[in-house]
Amino acid sequence: MAISASLSAHHVFVLISLERLFSSFYPAYFERHSSRALAFALAIVFGGVSWLYSIACMTNYFSSIAEEDFVPIFNARNESNTQPFQDLMIVTTASNAFSLIMLSIDLYLNFIRQPADNSTLAVSYQRSENRRILLTILPIEFSESTTSIITSIFQMMLGNFINVQTPSTRQIVIELLALPPVYPLLLAIVIEFRVGRERKKSVVIAHHDVDHMENLRFWNKST
């Protein structure tokens, strides 16, 4: 499950990068048609696809499920699991690189490129919103990418150089190695929750010593 969660967490960051990229190119359209329900549905789809792919790699692309007493366990030294294991590491590394490229483009479009002089209020607001989100996910993205790369390296070393005797012990070690990339996603959820709570707190500034409506009536009478 840790492998599935790690892959899903990374693909959620890819989805966020693509969303910010689209909003950078079409800010006015995104401002009018953005949908939280659609974003949540896409995150569920990305997570489900990532989970199915990781299960496919543990079952030699579902060909081992029909075997009697089969338990889906990663064992790179098993000939039937060698190629799926390598495919999973390649997919993880490629998606990691793709996410970093998307994030770099987002940073350029929202921080370095100068906006047009005739930008509307909606475009300016969306640009400031993109900056806020990018500044939030930037450290999370880099920490997630770093832990994913380190995890992939240790996974390859475990499959080729480290001798773990029993399959169950090997699976426990693999699951523990796959947990660190999940932490940045949990951090993102905590940050979003805290920011949402702060935004819900409305601040009302009352000036009891100044009655604006009374002043308005006074000036209307005087004129």
Q: What is the pLDDT along the chain (223 residues), one digit of tens a residue?
A: 667 777 777 787 788 888 888 888 888 788 788 788 888 888 888 888 888 888 887 777 777 666 655 555 555 555 666 777 778 778 877 887 787 888 888 888 888 887 766 667 777 777 888 888 788 777 777 777 777 777 777 766 766 666 666 666 666 776 676 666 666 666 666 666 665 555 555 444 445 454 555 656 666 665 5
Q: Where are the domains of the chain?
A: 2-222
Distance CA 76, CA 80 (A): 8
Q: What is the pLDDT of residue 204?
A: 46
Q: What is the pLDDT of residue 140?
A: 76
Q: Which two tokens stand for residue 175?
A: 């699951």
Q: What is the pLDDT of residue 194?
A: 60
Q: What is the pLDDT of residue 222?
A: 58
C-alpha closest to that of 151 among 48, 143, 101: 143
Distance of CA 25 to the CA centre of its chain: 20
Distance CA 148, CA 181 (A): 6
Residue type at 59? T
Q: What is the pLDDT of residue 165?
A: 60
